[in-house]
C-alpha cells in the first residue's frame, strides 16, 4: 500500500503555544520531519484559525516569507498549509504558491461549503495538491458527508479528510465513514484524529484498514486539547507492521526530544474535561461549561444535557 503522512505539529500544536514557534525551531523541525520520512510538513494556518486568536504567532499566520524560509529548507514539494476560506482573499493562493507551498488543505464549513469548493478549484488551477478537511465530521449526518465529498471531488479535491475535531470518533465509525467517502467519490481519504478518548491510534489503524491513504500526526501528539495521533507511536506502528516502509523511528524520536526540550507546551497531557467533550461529541467551544465544575460527576451530567440539546 501507499500512505501519505503529514506532520501537523507546527500547525495544530500551535493551539498549545499561541502558534508561537520561532523560525529557527520551525526550520529544524521541518528538516527532521522530512528526514524521519514524512511526506509533507503542514507549517501553518494561512491568516488564522477558525476562531480569531490574539497575537497570532508565526504558524498561525503562514506569511509568505515564512513559507519561503521553510521551502528553502526542505523543498516546496513538502510544504503545506491549511486555511479557512473566509480568512483569505483572491491574492492568497497565488502568493502562497509563489512563496513555495505545494499542498493546501481547505477547511469545509458544512453549513456554507461553497467558499471552500471555490478555493479548492482555484488551488488546483494554480497547481496545488488539494485536500478538503471535513471538520467536526462526527456531527454530520452520513448524507451530508456524501454530499460534501462528492462536491469536493467535483471541485477538484484530491483528498477528503475526516477531521475528528471533537475527538469523539470510534474506530467502527472511522471505518464506516472512510468506506462511505471512498464509495461515492473518486478521492483519497485522510484522517485527522484527536486523542480525547485515547482512540487516535485505534482510529488511525481502522481508517487505514478501510482504505484511507493520508494520515495526520503530530510529534509528541502536540495539538489542540489532548492532541493528535502521536507521530512517534504511529511511525513505530508502521515500522513494526511493515505496512509501509521508508520511515525512521530514531529520527522521529530525535525530533520528539528536540520539541520537548524547545517547547514546554508540548508536554503530553490528557485533560479530563476534553475526555468529557470527546465522550459526548461536543465542540471545544463548550469547554468552559465543562471546566466550571470542580466535581467531574457534575461535568459529565452537564455534558450529557448539552449533548441531548
Residues at the contact surface with a second copy, assessed by CB under 8 A: 170-171, 197-202, 205, 220-221, 230, 232-233, 236-237, 239-241, 248-251, 253-254, 256-257, 268-270, 272, 275-276, 278-279, 295-301
By beta-carbon proximity to a second copy, the closer residue of 126 and 300 is 300
The least CB distance from residue 298 to a second copy, in Å, is: 8
| CA distances from residue 132 to 106, 233, 252, 263, 277 in whole angstroms, order as listed | 5, 25, 27, 29, 24
Alpha-carbon distance values, 76 to 44, 51, 109, 253, 270 (Å):
14, 28, 28, 24, 35
> In angstroms, rounded to a whole number, what is the distance separating the alpha carbons of residues 43 and 29?
10
Q: Which is nearer to a second copy, 95 or 253 (CB)?
A: 253
Neighbours of 28 (CB within 10 A): 15
Record the cell numbers describing residue 93, joined without a space: 493562493
Which three cell numbers mark 38?
514524512
Q: Which is nearer to a second copy, 102 or 192 (CB)?
A: 192
Nearest distance in Å: CB 236, a second copy:
5
In the complex, the smallest distance separating the C-beta of residue 207 from a second copy, rounded to whole angstroms, is 13
Largest Cα span, the chain: 54
Closest separation between CB of residue 220 and a second copy, Å? Answer: 7
Task: Please say which residue, 246 or 250, places its beta carbon nearer to a second copy.
Answer: 250
Residue 138 has, within 13 A of its CA and on its CB side, a CA count of 25
Q: How far is the CB of 105 from a second copy (least distance, A)?
A: 24
54 or 288: whose CB is closer to a second copy?
288
Amino acid at each position: 500500500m501507499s500512505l501519505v503522512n503529514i506532520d501537523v505539529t507546527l500547525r495544530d500544536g500551535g493551539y498549545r503555544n499561541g502558534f508561537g514557534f520561532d523560525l529557527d525551531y520551525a526550520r529544524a523541525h521541518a528538516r527532521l520531519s522530512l528526514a524521519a520520512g514524512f511526506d509533507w510538513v503542514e507549517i501553518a494556518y494561512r491568516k488564522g484559525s477558525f476562531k480569531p486568536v490574539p497575537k497570532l504567532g508565526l504558524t498561525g499566520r503562514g506569511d509568505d516569507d515564512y513559507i519561503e524560509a521553510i521551502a528553502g529548507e526542505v523543498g516546496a514539494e513538502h510544504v503545506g498549509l491549511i486555511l479557512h476560506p473566509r480568512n483569505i482573499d483572491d491574492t492568497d493562493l497565488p502568493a502562497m504558491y509563489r512563496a513555495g507551498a505545494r499542498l493546501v488543505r481547505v477547511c469545509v464549513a458544512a453549513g456554507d461549503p461553497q467558499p471552500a469548493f471555490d478555493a479548492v478549484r482555484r488551488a488546483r488551477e494554480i497547481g496545488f495538491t488539494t485536500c478538503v478537511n471535513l471538520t467536526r465530521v462526527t456531527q454530520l449526518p452520513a448524507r451530508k458527508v456524501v454530499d460534501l465529498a462528492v462536491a469536493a471531488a467535483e471541485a477538484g479535491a484530491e483528498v477528503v479528510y475526516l477531521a475528528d475535531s471533537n475527538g469523539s470518533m470510534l474506530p467502527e465509525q472511522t471505518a464506516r465513514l472512510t468506506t462511505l467517502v471512498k464509495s461515492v467519490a473518486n478521492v483519497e481519504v485522510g484522517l485527522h484524529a484527536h486523542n480525547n478518548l485515547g482512540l487516535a491510534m485505534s482510529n488511525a489503524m481502522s481508517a487505514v484498514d478501510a482504505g484511507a491513504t493520508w494520515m495526520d500526526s503530530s510529534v509528541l501528539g502536540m495539538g489542540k486539547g489532548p492532541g493528535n495521533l502521536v507521530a512517534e507511536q504511529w511511525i513505530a506502528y508502521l515500522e513494526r507492521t511493515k505496512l509501509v516502509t521508508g520511515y525512521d523511528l530514531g529520527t522521529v524520536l530525535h525530533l520528539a526530544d528536540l520539541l520537548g526540550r524547545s517547547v514546554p507546551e508540548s508536554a503530553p497531557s490528557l485533560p479530563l474535561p476534553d475526555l468529557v467533550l470527546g465522550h459526548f461529541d461536543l465542540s471545544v467551544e463548550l469547554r468552559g461549561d465543562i471546566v466550571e465544575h470542580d466535581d467531574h460527576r457534575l461535568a459529565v451530567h452537564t455534558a450529557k444535557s448539552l449533548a441531548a440539546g
